[in-house]
Amino acid sequence: MSNFAARTVRCRIASFRPRWACDRLRFSTSTRRPLMDLAGFSEEQLMVREAISAITAKFPNTYWQECDQNERDPKEFHAALAKDGWLGIALSEELGGAGLGVSEATMMMQTITQSGAGMAGAQAIHANVYATQPLARFGTKAQLEETIPKIINGTWRTCFGVTEPNTGLETLKLKTSATKTAAGDAYSVTGQKIWITCAQVASKMILLARTTPIEEVKKSTQGLSMFCIDLNRSTSGLDMRRIKKMGGRAVDANEVFFDNYQIPASTLVGQENEGFGIILHGMNAERCLLAGEALGLGYAALERAAQYANDRVVFGRPIGQNQGIAHPLADAYMKLEAAKLATYHAAKLYDASQTDSSIPFHSVGVACNSAKYLAAEAAFTACERAVLTHGGMGYAMEYDVERYLRECLVPRIAPVSREMILNYISEKVLQLPRSY
Ligand SMILES: Cc1cc2nc3c(=O)[nH]c(=O)nc-3n(C[C@H](O)[C@H](O)[C@H](O)COP(=O)(O)OP(=O)(O)OC[C@H]3O[C@@H](n4cnc5c(N)ncnc54)[C@H](O)[C@@H]3O)c2cc1C
């Protein structure tokens, strides 16, 4: 029995030990080894990774190429994750979720992008995982019972409606209004949202809208409210238009127009005018998920680059023998590993802060924002190097790295841009004057 086989068998005997943990032992014997070092992850995280990998294995790169080229929603992928309950990974067991935390959800999102699904795979389910967090925390019993099970089992998909064309990152200035009707049992919504992912396929939207004009509130954080609304296309006052975009084309992104669109008053989540605080609750979690998604994409690209650098022979030697090719890939690897540590540190802190009140909100915010920034930048470095390593073939769809490069811009822009994170760290950590 070879050493390799013995190790594999030993891994099998330890029944709790997931396949990905076993892969770590194969480092010296297989060129198909995963690049990411799995040391230090918890048993739960590794088990999530293994289970999600079993699902993503059914969706090869050709599936994602086809969805991307035809702008076709990856509904089979969403259904496969929903079937096994993964959309409720970070929801409590009482709500029908898996009762795991953001640390495991981040691993799930990373495993998805890393499989080759890229940001399209992540975005197909992303909002269902994080937008349900504030709902779970602040929703009424009736809202939870009606909505959460159907989101977890995939009957309903949800989208997140915050960004507006005329206010951009200045969320507190958003203009979409929700005005209570005279009878008091409904709100009338008027305004425009932009870049709303999955609005075409979603039945529900988590909507942030203004319920009190900005001129009438004492603090700029007041006057906004969160709703969980139906996207009823047969009702008047709702329209949407798909935006043609650079990457993640399988997943729709939209302008959404509301014109006196009627929503029941019972769709309000939490207190009226306190919606900004409620939405904030999910934002740090979302930063961790995005960081995980960026990491997965970066490792996927780097793995493809290392493989190609080994296989491609020019001037009588593998191109990876040239330090001009090898060193940037080594640099990209270390950047990803550093960002990985920052990401899972942030996720751990976030989870711990849910029960440990001694962890300051500030520390969680700094960690989550830093992680998102670092992971997005590291992913960009890796994806760009992967294309350059492939030379002309880096530009060909069949090698996937061009798709990864197109997609890796998203974590740099959304949900908060790299510049705004730099502003945040400058102001909140370095205590420099606010620049805007
Ligand atoms: C693919 C994709 C999917 C998305 N999905 C969703 C979704 O599902 N739901 C949703 O609500 N939103 C979504 N968004 C929107 C996303 O969150 C916003 O695009 C992002 O927050 C940036 O806002 P903006 O585009 O209005 O940029 P702007 O606010 O117009 O900013 C433009 C540029 O100026 C910079 N800038 C602005 N102010 C400052 C300042 N004071 N200092 C330094 N730099 C500054 C920004 O960093 C940025 O580089 C998505 C976006 C994309 C691209």
Q: Domain locations in the chain?
A: 43-153, 158-273, 275-429
Q: What is the reported pTM?
A: 0.93
Q: Say yes or no: do domains 43-153 and 158-273 share a fold.
A: no
What's the rounded Cα separation, in Å, for the pair 257 and 332?
Answer: 42
Element (H, E) at 210: strand 204-210
Report pLDDT digits (tens) over 191-204: 999 999 999 999 99
192, 258 Cβ separation under 8 angstroms? yes
- The residue contributing the CA closest to ligand 1 atom 30 is 168
230 has which bridge partners?
204
Assess whether pLDDT exceeds 90 at residue 99. Answer: yes
- The residue contributing the CA closest to ligand 1 atom 26 is 168
- Please report the atom of ligand 1 found closest to the CA of residue 436: 41
Assess whether pLDDT exceeds 80 at residue 3. Answer: no
- Please report the atom of ligand 1 found closest to the CA of residue 419: 47
Average pLDDT over residues 245-260: 98
Regarding the beta carbon of 410 and ligand 1, being less than 6 Å apart is answered: yes
pLDDT of residue 40: 93
Residue 62: how many other CB atoms lie within 10 Å: 11
Helix axis angle, 323-353 to 361-389, nearest 10°? 160
- For residues 32 and 313, the model is more confident at 313
Tell me the best of 123, 167, 169 to mutate to test the pocket of ligand 1, counting ligand atoms within 8 Å of each CB and taking the most.
169
**Residue 131: how many CA atoms within 13 Å on its side-chain side?**
29
Sign of the CA dihedral with 252 first, then 107, 27, and 373 last: positive
Assess whether pLDDT exceeds 70 at residue 12. Answer: no
Average pLDDT over residues 121-148: 94
Assess whether pLDDT exceeds 90 at residue 19. Answer: no
- For residues 141 and 25, the model is more confident at 141
- Please report the atom of ligand 1 found closest to the CA of residue 417: 47
In CATH, the number for domain 275-429 is 1.20.140.10
What's the rounded Cα separation, in Å, for the pair 163 and 409?
Answer: 18
Among residues of the chain, what percentage have pLDDT more than 70?
A: 92
Distance 167 CA to ligand 1 centre (A): 9
pLDDT of residue 282: 84
Assess whether pLDDT exceeds 80 at residue 32. Answer: no
What's the rounded Cα separation, in Å, for the pair 169 and 198?
Answer: 20
257 has which bridge partners?
192, 239
Average pLDDT over residues 229-240: 96
Tell me the best of 119, 175, 195, 290 to mutate to test the pocket of ligand 1, counting ligand atoms within 8 Å of each CB and taking the most.
195
Residue 226: closest CA among 140, 298, 336: 140
Assess whether pLDDT exceeds 90 at residue 390. Answer: yes
Report pLDDT digits (tens) over 45-89: 999 999 999 999 999 999 999 999 999 999 999 999 999 999 999
pLDDT of residue 25: 35
Q: Which CATH architecture has domain 43-153?
A: Orthogonal Bundle (1.10)
In CATH, the number for domain 158-273 is 2.40.110.10
